[in-house]
């Protein structure tokens, strides 16, 4: 039932790539949604993994309201060492602007895997974007898993990866695949089962330092192959931002990377995350 102030709409989604990403049409995020509309949005997000809401230009408070439709917002004021909060809102993180040479990103990653119970959804709105460049890439980790041979799929299902618990990079040389501290970590499976769809997929991020129980030279080779395979163009959606775009993605089925190709142009906005309650990544 729709209560006062809530809006019931039919959510229309235009597919952007074969297995990944959809643009939501006819929806204003300035409105409050009824339960039926929230259910449509969530179902579309599970199916497309990435949802694009063009030129919404919502406020941080409106972003938190929309975030709550998807679950419990992640707080950024309890010792979190990532992006600073936007204004006084403990749930909203600031993204940019960052001077050339001091930008995070550029690596393929997932949100919050340093926690035993990671972030399941992330939401990002960019308010100012460069005239050219600065896209965000997303890649389908479930399609990437399906693209592996059966013997390799079987092998990977029995392996856990070490996700460093550092919340900021240690400054180690990235080229040595040792950007994060390998000695303090939480273990997550390399292949997980999506808790809502039941689909298996790879679970990869930049903060994985090694595979547990695998010799380091073999671990580095396997990780290098998996990272290259899972970020291949055939699994990708490239989002070219317009000011006010909101993009929402499912960290359990895709990963992402920001492209730093826009020089000294401005690029900034704000983001939120959604916690998954008691969910912890588990193997199929």
Q: Can you give the CATH number for the domain in which 139 is found? A: 3.60.130.10
Is 4 inside a domain boundary?
A: no
Over the stretch 222-246, which tens digit does the pLDDT of each residue have?
999 999 999 999 999 999 999 999 9
Q: Which residues are CB-neighbours of 181 under 8 A, at least 6 positions away?
A: 164, 165, 166, 170, 172, 209
Is 74 inside a domain boundary?
A: yes
Is 2 inside a domain boundary?
A: no
Q: Stretch 6-14: mean pLDDT, rounded?
A: 86
Residue 60's CB is within 10 A of a number of other CB atoms, namely 20
Over the stretch 261-282, which tens digit does the pLDDT of each residue have?
998 899 999 999 999 999 999 9
Over the stretch 129-154, which tens digit does the pLDDT of each residue have?
999 999 999 999 999 999 999 999 99
More confident residue, 102 or 232: 232
More confident residue, 203 or 10: 203
pLDDT tier, 78 (very low <50, low <70, confident <90, very high otherwise): low
Q: Stretch 53-73: mean pLDDT, rounded?
A: 97
Is 3 inside a domain boundary?
A: no
> Tokens for 88?
């006084």
This prediction's pTM: 0.91
> Tokens for 269?
């906005």
Is 104 inside a domain boundary?
A: yes
Is 283 inside a domain boundary?
A: no
pLDDT given at position 109: 94
Sheet containing 254-258: give its strands across: 236-239, 136-140, 254-258
Name the domain count of the chain. Answer: 1
> Tokens for 125?
């709105």
pLDDT of 173 higher than 60: no
Is 173 inside a domain boundary?
A: yes
pLDDT given at position 88: 76
pLDDT tier, 174 (very low <50, low <70, confident <90, very high otherwise): very low
Residue keyed to tokens 């439709």:
69
Is 282 inside a domain boundary?
A: no
Cα separation of 100 and 128, whole Å? 16
Cα four-point dihedral sign 160, 166, 171, 172: negative
Query: Pairing mode, if any, of strands 200-202 and 254-258?
Result: unpaired
- Write out the residue range of the structural domain in which residue 129 sits: 11-277
Residue 102's CB is within 10 A of a number of other CB atoms, namely 6
Cα separation of 223 and 216, whole Å? 10
Query: Pairing mode, if any, of strands 268-275 and 93-95?
Result: antiparallel
| Helical pair 60-70 and 35-48, crossing angle rounded to 10 deg | 80
pLDDT of 186 higher than 50: yes
């Amino acid at each position: 039932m729709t209560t006062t102030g809530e809006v019931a709409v039919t959510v229309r989604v235009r597919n952007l790539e074969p297995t990944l990403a959809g643009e939501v049409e006819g929806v204003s995020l300035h409105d409050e949604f009824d339960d039926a509309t929230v259910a449509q949005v969530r179902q579309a997000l599970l199916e497309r993994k990435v949802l694009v809401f063009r030129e919404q230009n919502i406020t941080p408070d409106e972003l938190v309201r929309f975030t709550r439709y998807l679950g419990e917002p992640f707080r950024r004021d309890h010792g979190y060492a990532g992006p600073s909060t936007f204004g006084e809102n403990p749930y909203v993180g600031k993204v940019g602007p960052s001077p050339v040479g001091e930008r995070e990103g550029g690596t393929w990653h997932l949100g919050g895997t340093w926690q035993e119970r990671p972030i399941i959804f992330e939401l990002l709105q960019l308010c100012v974007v460069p005239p050219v460049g600065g896209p965000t890439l997303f890649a389908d980790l479930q399609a990437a898993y399906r693209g592996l041979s059966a013997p390799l799929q079987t092998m990977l299902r029995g392996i856990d990866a070490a996700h460093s618990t550092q919340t900021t990079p240690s400054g180690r040389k990235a080229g040595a695949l040792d950007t994060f501290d390998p000695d303090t970590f939480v273990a997550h499976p390399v292949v997980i089962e999506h808790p809502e769809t039941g689909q298996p997929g790879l679970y990869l991020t930049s903060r994985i330092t090694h595979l547990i129980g695998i010799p380091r030279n073999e671990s580095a080779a396997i990780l290098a192959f998996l990272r290259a395979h899972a970020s291949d163009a055939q699994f990708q959606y490239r989002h070219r931002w317009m000011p006010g775009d909101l993009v929402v993605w499912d960290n359990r089925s895709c990963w992402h990377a920001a492209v730093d190709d826009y020089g000294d142009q401005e690029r900034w906005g704000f983001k939120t995350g959604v916690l998954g309650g008691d969910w912890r990544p588990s193997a199929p």
